[in-house]
Amino acid sequence: MTKQWLTFTEQIKAHYKQDFVPLHEPTFSEKELEYVTDCVKTGWVSSVGAYVTRFEEELAKFVGVKRAIAVMNGTAALHIALKVAGVKPNDEVLMPSLTFIATANAVSYIQAIPHFVDVSEITLGIDSEKLEQYLLEIGDFKGNELLNKKTNRVIRAVVPMHTFGHAVEIDALQKVCEKFNLILIEDAAESLGSYYKGKHTGSFGKVSAVSFNGNKIITTGGGGAVLTDDEELADYAKHITTTAKIPHRWQYEHDEIGYNYRMPNINAAIGCAQLEKVSQFVNQKRQLTHFYEGLLQDLDGVRLFKEPKHSTSNYWLQTLILDELYTRDEVLALLNDNGVMSRPIWTPMHYLKPYENCPKADMLITERFNNKIINIPSTPVNEG
Ligand SMILES: *Cc1c(COP(=O)(O)O)cnc(C)c1O
């Protein structure tokens, strides 16, 4: 095993022209500096400013939704998306167990309960057929609300996540949502620049969330956004992310418990510069996939995860799927020991202490797959 893998690490380091290749680094140029300098010079660094509005407008346009509300991180965006979409305390919210913990945490913040379901090995996102079967089994309509027969709680919403930038079968999920009267909320944190049948991810749900954390395809330092086509929900999201203050020239009137979640202008300035380059980053990442594909022809027992049929993916994180030849941790040790930073996929939510007692479906694919998935360096490479 070792020799082939060592060659693999050498080829990656040569490609990046680095002795140590990080998993994912932000790519900045003069534009970010220019916009940030503008903020500092004008004094508009904080919670209000022209870059926030500009970033929101350009983001909404890029995704193809009516409105975007910029907030301080993707988790906050998910929290607000769930709240304005109508998830209430004690509701159950269906989501993949194979996700980053933020998806489950955001549900917990509104005293709702994550309910974990299995993924498809084609998309690594929620398996809609399996979900439908499962809901037929455990669900029971009371009026127009779907009750979980086992817990007697209302199942309110589904939160699919587009894993590593690969779109889930979202139109099949939409049908399941219609059939069972569930709200669709997308966790599109990883999928800016990814499309399903030509339509941008994050534009299918009633409300969606994206992230601009330092390791995402574009970054604002830390940041996120709530996306929606519903003007009323958008206004409400803006209102509660800005302390629910009623606009007034001097008076402090707040009409409910709000959040101080807004994105500072200085972060939005970075976001404006980054957004100008998102298509370039996507192209570079798709090139990187070709590069890795070439390398993998010489490696047995491993394959590159490729975009599913209807997805045009941003390939945010490049993904290896190992077969029985290796254990995940021996490959991780070899790569990390030889200057190629690599990470396993997240520990499934139903294994984690805060979520081990949550309701869940059978996890056949999640359990078969999670210890075979590795992410390898994915920073866009500047050719030339
Ligand atoms: C990054 C990410 C988030 C949000 O992360 P923040 O770090 O809060 O911006 C949410 N869900 C998934 C799946 C993510 O990858």
What contacts 32, CB < 8 A, 6 or more positions away? Answer: 269, 270, 273, 274
Pick the closest to residue 115 from 87, 85, 94, 130 (CA basis).
Answer: 94
Pick the closest to residue 50 from 234, 272, 254 (CA basis).
Answer: 272
104 and 204 co-located in one domain? yes
**Ligand 1 centre from 211 Cα, in Å?**
6
Domain termination site, one of 275, 292, 319: 275
> For atom 5 of ligand 1, which residue has the closest CA?
74
Q: How far apart are CA 45 and CA 40, in angstroms?
A: 6
Q: How far apart are CA 101 and CA 113, in angstroms?
A: 13
- Evaluate the CA torsion angle 8, 13, 14, 19 in order and state its sign: negative
Domain termination site, one of 231, 251, 275: 275
How do the residues of the chain divide into helix, strand and coil, expressed in percent and rounded to 5?
Answer: 40, 20, 40
**Ligand 1 centre from 31 Cα, in Å?**
25
Q: How far apart are CA 138 and CA 180, in angstroms?
A: 12
Whether the Cβ atoms of residue 205 and residue 178 lie closer than 8 Å to each other: no
236 located within any domain: yes
Give the domain CATH number at 104: 3.40.640.10
- Residues of the domain holding 288: 2-25+278-376
Whether the Cβ atoms of residue 191 and residue 209 lie closer than 8 Å to each other: no
240 and 266 co-located in one domain? yes
283 and 367 co-located in one domain? yes
pLDDT at residue 58, as a whole number: 98
268 and 165 co-located in one domain? yes
pLDDT at residue 52, as a whole number: 96
180 and 292 co-located in one domain? no
pLDDT at residue 314, as a whole number: 98
382 located within any domain: no
Residue to substitute in 82, 123, 190 for testing ligand 1 pocket (most ligand atoms within 8 angstroms of CB): 190
369 and 237 co-located in one domain? no
Report which secondary-structure segment, H or E, holds 146.
Answer: strand 145-148
383 located within any domain: no
7 and 93 co-located in one domain? no
In total, how many domains does the chain have?
2
Threshold 0.85, pTM exceeds: yes
pLDDT at residue 384, as a whole number: 53
303 and 328 co-located in one domain? yes
**Ligand 1 centre from 150 Cα, in Å?**
30
Whether the Cβ atoms of residue 195 and residue 132 lie closer than 8 Å to each other: no
384 located within any domain: no
381 located within any domain: no
φ, ψ for residue 372 (rounded to 5)?
-120, 0
328 and 204 co-located in one domain? no
pLDDT at residue 43, as a whole number: 81
Q: Which residue has the tokens 């800016």?
A: 192
**Number of helical H runs and strand E runs in the chain:** 12, 16
Domain termination site, one of 221, 244, 275: 275
Give the domain CATH number at 308: 3.90.1150.10
237 and 346 co-located in one domain? no
Residues with pLDDT less than 70, the chain: 1, 47, 383-384
72 and 87 co-located in one domain? yes
Q: What is the pLDDT of residues 162-209, one digit of tens each?
A: 999 999 999 999 999 999 999 999 999 999 999 999 999 999 999 999
184 and 107 co-located in one domain? yes
Whether the Cβ atoms of residue 317 and residue 379 lie closer than 8 Å to each other: no
